[in-house]
């Protein structure tokens, strides 16, 4: 197959980790007889420097004309980078929110898996980590607090800021359907996370998710309040299969879920629209403190590329091959600094990429 991939390397460690994911994709192409054509595009701080804005309309159009988008990370140090002196709508993050909205990427899939080889890096007690876990957070990505009305104004002489949490039933229904669909392919359990004891948007969320569940009788549905969920994630992460939740809750809970795997450098993500089109990026940020040092962990980006093969290109055998290659590199004892433990071999970002690319079969 011939596929066109829009590539956004971005800022910080983005260029390093995406280069390694491309190395792995090239190895897949060679072994499986595909051809991947890359269209490299700017977004975030590098786009601000080149074009004055974090995302241009041309970049959006070129992403739309590709079969999928592979992304690294955007942004810089928020206290020292000049990008953060700009008004909010011109900062790197605004580019990311705009691309999600422009491409209609409402479903953000963030798998969180405890690799047995990395159990030592899990900060939880051994009696908890010993059970392992494999969950998928389905975060709503184009609604809620992020995209409701924002304003800051003086009201009766007092500075006042407002962010609005708004959802309509259609936005809730389509993300709930995605959650139940993937649950059918996994362990058939959905935990819907909300704050229905306080928020109207959550009460509607709960009602619509319950309605959708009626079409999936094989899937067990459980509702959980977000504060309790934050606690359950560290108490008993093995209880979760698919978790579905609104944008802001999902942002926070997915960072928590990544931390208990030992390193955010291992976590892939996919952001999808209604079709097979998606944007694939690691869950972690641009890590400006280690940028340019060939130290970053490229595995999350490589696993994101595997998700692209699986979800956008229907290449499940190839996706399995990438995941197996990651396991092989870990089993052979290779580690980047973030997942290093005693007795293992430290490798650089580019060495890890090469090891995984060579292990594709
Ligand atoms: C994420 C990030 C973004 C978000 C930021 C960079 C806008 O934290 O992808 O989780 O909050 O969605
Ligand atoms: Mn986040």
Residues near ion ligand 2 (Cβ under 5 Å): 251
Instruction: Report the distance separating Cα 106 and Cα 259, nearest Å.
Output: 24
End-to-end CA distance of the chain: 18
Cβ–Cβ < 8 Å for 186, 242: yes
User: What are the sequence ranges of the domains in the chain?
Assistant: 1-114+261-361, 123-258
Instruction: Specify the ligand 1 atom closest to the Cα of 96.
Output: 7
DSSP 172: H
Q: What are phi and psi of 296, to 5 degrees?
A: -65, 160
Q: What is the CATH number of domain 123-258?
A: 3.40.718.10
Q: Ligand 1 centre from 226 Cα, in Å?
A: 18
Residue nearest atom 12 in ligand 1 by C-alpha distance: 251
Q: For residue 212, what are its two tokens?
A: 């959708």
Residue 72 pLDDT: 98
How would residue 166 be classed by pLDDT, with cut points 50, 70 and 90? very high
Establish whether 338 is a catalytic residue: no
146 is catalytic: yes
Is there a shared CATH topology between the 1-114+261-361 domain and the 123-258 domain?
yes
Least confident of 41-45, 127-131, 161-165, 203-207: 127-131
Q: 134-157 burial by CB neighbour count: b if 16+ within 10 A, else e?
A: ebbbbbbbbbbbbbeeeeeeeeee
Mean pLDDT of 251-267: 91
Provide the pLDDT for residue 273: 96
Query: Domain 1-114+261-361's class?
Result: alpha beta
Q: CB of 307 within 8 A of CB of 300?
A: no
- Residue 34, pLDDT > 90, answer yes
Q: Would you state the pLDDT for residue 116? A: 86
**Which residue's alpha carbon is at the smallest distance from atom 1 of ligand 1?**
251
- Per-residue pLDDT band for 39 (boundaries 50, 70, 90) equals very high
Q: Which of 26, 77, 163, 255 is catalytic?
A: 255
Helix (H, G, I), strand (E, B) or coil at 136: strand
Mean pLDDT in residue range 328-340: 95
Q: What CA dihedral angle connects 58, 59, 63 and 66, to 10 degrees?
A: 70
The ligand placed nearest to the CA atom of residue 270 is 1
> With 90 as the cut, is the pLDDT of residue 117 above it?
no
Distance CA 306, CA 150 (A): 36
Q: Which of 67, 251, 280, 338 is catalytic?
A: 251
**How sure is the predictor about 78, in pLDDT bands with cuts at 50, 70 and 90?**
very high
What distance in Å separates the CA atoms of residue 235 and residue 251, rounded to the nearest whole number? Answer: 19
Q: Which residue has the higher pLDDT, 118 or 65?
A: 65
Q: Which of 227, 236, 314, 320 is catalytic?
A: 227
User: What pLDDT band is residue 239 in, cutting at 50, 70 and 90?
Assistant: very high
Lowest mean pLDDT among 259-268, 272-281, 289-298: 259-268
How far is it, in rounded angstroms, from Cα 58 to Cα 60? 5
Is the confidence at residue 227, as pLDDT, over 90?
A: yes
CA pair distance 12, 26, nearest whole angstrom: 23
Residue 227 known to be catalytic: yes
* Beta strands in 170-241, from DSSP E residues, in sequence order: 189-194, 220-225
Q: Rounded to the nearest whole angstrom, what is the distance from the C-alpha of residue 251 to the centroid of ligand 1?
A: 7
Place of tokens 């980078």: 81
- How confident is the model at residue 350, as a pLDDT? 98
- What average pLDDT does the segment 74-102 reach? 97
Once rounded to an integer, what is the mean pLDDT over residues 105-125?
92
Active-site residue (options: 9, 98, 146, 311)? 146
Mutate to test the pocket of ligand 1, among 12, 95, 251 (most ligand atoms within 8 A of CB): 251
Closest alpha carbon to 190 in 181, 199, 198, 180: 180
- Collect all residues with Cβ–Cβ distance below 8 Å to 70 and sequence separation of at least 6: 5, 6, 7, 8, 18, 21, 22, 25, 279, 280, 281, 301, 304, 305, 308
């Amino acid at each position: 197959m011939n596929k066109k991939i829009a590539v956004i390397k971005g800022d910080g460690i983005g260029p390093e980790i995406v280069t390694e994911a491309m190395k792995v994709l090239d190895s897949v192409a060679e072994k499986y007889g595909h051809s991947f054509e890359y269209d490299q595009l700017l977004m975030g701080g590098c786009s601000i420097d080149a074009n004055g804005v974090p995302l241009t309309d041309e970049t959006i159009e070129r992403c739309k004309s590709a079969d999928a988008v592979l992304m690294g990370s955007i942004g810089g140090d928020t206290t020292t980078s000049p990008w953060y002196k700009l008004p909010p709508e011109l900062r790197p993050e605004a580019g990311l929110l705009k691309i999600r909205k422009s491409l209609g990427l409402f479903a953000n899939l963030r798998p969180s898996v405890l690799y047995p080889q990395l159990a030592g890096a899990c900060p939880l007690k051994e009696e908890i980590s010993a059970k392992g876990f494999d969950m998928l957070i389905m975060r709503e990505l184009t609604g809620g607090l992020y995209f409701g009305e924002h304003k800051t104004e003086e009201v009766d002489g007092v500075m006042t800021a407002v962010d609005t949490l708004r959802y309509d039933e259609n936005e809730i229904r389509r993300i709930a359907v995605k959650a139940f669909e993937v649950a059918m392919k996994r362990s058939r359990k959905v935990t819907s996370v909300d704050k229905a004891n306080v928020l109207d948007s959550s009460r509607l969320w709960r009602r619509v998710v319950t309605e959708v569940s009626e079409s999936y009788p094989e899937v067990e549905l459980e509702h959980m309040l977000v504060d309790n969920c934050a606690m359950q994630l560290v108490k008993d992460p093995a209880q979760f299969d698919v978790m579905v939740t609104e944008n802001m809750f999902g942002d926070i809970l997915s960072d928590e879920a990544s931390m208990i795997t030992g390193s955010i450098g291992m976590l892939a993500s996919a952001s999808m629209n209604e079709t097979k089109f998606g944007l694939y990026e690691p869950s972690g940020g641009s890590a400006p403190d280690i940028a340019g040092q060939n130290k970053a962990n490229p595995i999350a980006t490589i696993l994101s590329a595997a998700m692209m093969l699986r979800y956008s290109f229907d290449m499940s055998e190839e996706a399995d091959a990438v995941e197996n290659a990651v396991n092989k590199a870990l089993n052979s004892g290779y580690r980047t600094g973030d997942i290093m433990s005693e007795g293992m071999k430290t490798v650089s970002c580019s060495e890890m990429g090469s090891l995984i690319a060579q292990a594709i079969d």
